[in-house]
């Protein structure tokens, strides 16, 4: 997992503070963030969050925010597992 830039993290925490574990649609997410980002920037950041698995698409119109700690834990576990395999060879 590549580290996020400040704008991606800002959008993540903005959406996390609003929706927490609730299901939302992209229109609701845009309404929350429209005072901070242009629509083009918002869409690019939203796509980046999906690519990083910080936002999961449940259906064509529904999304859910993932917990950052669980994503980092999973990513760290995969990294350490790969490192242990490569160092033992």
Residue 61 lies in a domain: yes
How many structural domains are present in the chain?
1
Residue 75 lies in a domain: yes
Give the range of the structural domain holding residue 81, as residue numbers without chain letter.
6-88
Residue 65 lies in a domain: yes
* Span between the terminal Cα atoms of the chain, in Å: 24
What pLDDT score does 89 carry? 64
Q: Taking the C-alpha atoms of 49, 58, 78 and 46 in order, what is their torsion angle to the nearest 10 degrees?
A: 0
Q: What pLDDT tens digit does each residue of the chain (89 aa) get? A: 566 799 999 999 999 999 998 999 999 999 999 999 999 999 999 999 999 989 999 999 999 999 988 888 888 888 898 888 887 76
Report the predicted TM-score, pTM, of the whole model to 2 decimal places.
0.82
What pLDDT score does 2 carry? 64
SS3 1: coil
Radius of gyration of the chain (CA): 15
Residue 44 lies in a domain: yes
What pLDDT score does 62 carry? 97
Domain with 80 in it: what CATH number?
A: 1.10.10
């Amino acid at each position: 997992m590549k580290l996020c830039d400040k704008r991606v993290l800002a959008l993540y925490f903005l959406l996390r503070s609003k929706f927490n574990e609730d299901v939302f649609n992209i229109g609701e997410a845009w309404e929350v963030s429209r005072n901070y980002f242009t629509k083009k920037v918002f869409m690019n950041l939203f796509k980046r969050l999906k690519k990083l698995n910080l936002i999961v698409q449940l259906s064509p119109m529904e999304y859910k925010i993932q917990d950052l700690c669980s994503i980092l834990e999973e990513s760290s576990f995969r990294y350490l597992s790969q490192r242990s395999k490569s160092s033992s060879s």
